[in-house]
Structure 1
Amino acid sequence: MPIRLVTFDALYTLLEPRAPVAVQYADLFRPYLGSLDPAAIRAAFKPAFKRAQITAPNAPEHFWTAVLRETALAAGADPAALAASLPALVPAALHRFSSREGYTLYDDTLPALEKLRGMGVMTGLVSNADARILDALADLGAAHLLNPILLGERDGPPKPAMALFHRAAVRAGVEHFGEVLHVGDEFENDYNAAWNASVPAVLLRRPGADAAAHREDEAPDAQLAETVASLDEVVTHVELANKPPRPPRRQRRWE
């Protein structure tokens, strides 16, 4: 079955933080809170993020206020200085992580999207990132190559639910889920979730310490997934899938 639509996850698939997130947070904190150890920030960030998902309102400003507050406090920030600086810290963080200031595209992102579209294959986004990722992709010159765009917070429920994958196919006018290929770096939210939705998928395994740290809690089953190391390999995968079948060889008649 030919592939008519390729959907991509966003973070660590199409783009990555320009520097590790903990280093960028340390840079944001420094003018207001002094030097905080990036290792301590890194250890504090994930628990703070998970708690905010449960306790904080859905509005980005309130959510990221909670994340920044808990991360800085756990990393050793002075509570009074933090309370005084949050009105400036939160807008600075929201701006950084909605632009090229905070993110950069992988070298293969634009060439792969352009090659796929040149082959007549649609390219879309299926991500659990908040809507600021669209501003970052636009600032980096990639958003116009992605349609349809489905976000968990806006078009949910988020991955690993099946809805985003199915809605992407419907919006693209693709009738058979088998004509869609999903590409992402997370086993549960991308590879396994897509296959559970009857959408073929490949698991992206980019090299690099930051990308590896992003998937450090991964399930052992990820070792069994079909993987690619770059978006160039995704293009090759689609080219092979869409290659016209060879006509049957005519048998030579012997007299």
Structure 2
Amino acid sequence: MSLRCIRLVTFDATNTLLKFKVQPWEYYTILGRDYGFEGSDEDLKLRLLDNYKFMWNKYPNFGKNQMNWEDWWRQVVKKTFDGQLPSNANIEGLANQLINDYKTTKCWYLRDGSHEVLNYLRNYGAFLGVISNFDPRLVEILRNVRIDYKLDFIYTSFDVGYAKPDPKIFNHVLMQNIPGKPKNLQPKNCLHIGDDLEKDYKAAKAAGWNALLISKNKNYEECIPKEHIFPNLIDLRLAISKNKLNVF
């Protein structure tokens, strides 16, 4: 079966439409040098990942309803560099620079095939959007990589108040009065495309949506239909154009 029943298509952002130019711990290392950091990116990798996880568990969804999202990220940066900088280092300056740089093309680029798949779906008549676990910077990021104008809406977990894999974030989209959104949409008319098995594919399915996975991980074929998995957006667009897509 093809896309004939699909009227709304959403994408995840990170690692689906967007890619990091370098891994975050590598960029943290680069900027950290200007503030006296002398370690390696491997020194920061575990610290950053552990502190991000700690903050997410203690203050989920970038601190939604508990703190300002910028302060959430400042705490991540401070904890990551704790004991790693000279005592007189301007850690606030480093945190603010990282927060600002991660709005820009210094840190992000558009994944190959993004324009093409969006163009094809737009020509097909689909209503297009983004659903992503992200803070409010996402709108500016998508504008900076020049893809925002191809989207009808952008919803972040921070703005909605629910984070994937909670299916409520998908239900939220169906309840919103978005200009131009097709009327009488049902979950079966919706398709979500992302790179994370749990947060994108299974979460969308739990909401009653159709879902596709963008991943090169062959192990996923053991738990979901292989025709729902594509290694990249280019292959996805080709499958759509050749009417070889089976989302059901």
Quickly name the TM-score band, shorter chain normalised: 0.7 to 0.9
Q: Which amino acid aligns with 2:14?
A: L
Corresponding residue of 1:185: 195
2:54 to 48, 51, 55: 51
Whichever residue aligns with residue 49 of structure 1, its letter is Y
Q: Aligned pair 1:25/2:28, yes or no? A: yes
2:76 equivalent in structure 1: 67
Assess, with a 3 A threshold, how the Cα gap between structure 1 residues 236 and 222 changes in structure 2: closer, same or farther: same
DSSP-derived class of the 2:202 partner: helix
Determine whether 1:11 maps to 2:14.
Answer: yes
Say which one has the larger Rg: 1
Residue identity matched to 2:187: F
SS at match of 2:109: strand
CA distance in 1, matches of 2:123, 2:24: 34
1:49-198 pair list within 5 angstroms:
49-53=52-56, 54-55=58-59, 57-73=66-82, 77-78=84-85, 80-81=87-88, 84-171=89-176, 172-173=181-182, 175-198=185-208
Using the alignment, how far apart are the partners of 2:104 and 2:119 within structure 1? 21
Contact 1:130–1:153 (Cα < 8 Å) also in 2: yes
Q: Percent identity?
A: 24
Secondary structure of the 1:33 match is: coil
TM-superposed deviation, 1:178: 1.2
**Structure 2 counterpart of 1:224, one-letter code:** C
Describe the shift of the 1:126–1:231 C-alpha distance in structure 2 as closer, same or farther (beyond 3 A): same
Q: Which residue of the partner structure matches residue 216 of structure 1?
A: none
Partners of 2:244 and 2:6 in 1: CA distance: 7
SS of 2:90's equivalent in the other structure is helix
The structural deviation recorded for 1:241 is 7.5
Matches within 5 A, 1:163-242: 163-171=168-176, 172-173=181-182, 175-206=185-216, 223-225=222-224, 226-239=228-241, 240=243
Q: RMSD value over aligned CA atoms?
A: 2.3
Tell me: higher relative CO, structure 1 or 2? Use CA pairs within 8 A at least 6 residues apart: 2
> Any gaps of 5 or more consecutive residues in structure 2?
none
Q: Could you list the per-position Cα deviations for residues 178-228 of structure 1 after superposition, in whole angstroms to 9, with x for gaps in the alignment?
A: 11111111111100000011101011115xxxxx8xxxxxxx777422311
Which residue is 1:41 aligned to? 44
Rounded to whole Å, the distance in 2 between the matches of 1:112 and 1:221 is 23
- TM-score calculated relative to the size of structure 1: 0.81
Q: Is the 8 A contact 1:156 1:163 kept in 2?
A: no
Aligned-partner Cα distance in 1 for 2:78–2:200: 30
Separation of aligned partners in 1, 2:173 and 2:244 = 20
Which SS does the other structure have where 1:100 is aligned? coil
**SS where residue 32 of structure 1 aligns?**
coil
TM-score, length-scaled by structure 2:
0.83
- The letter of the residue matching 1:66 is Q
Give 1:132 deviation, angstroms.
1.1
Deviations 1:77-135 (A, max 9, x none): 13624xx4122112210111111111011121112111211221121101011111221
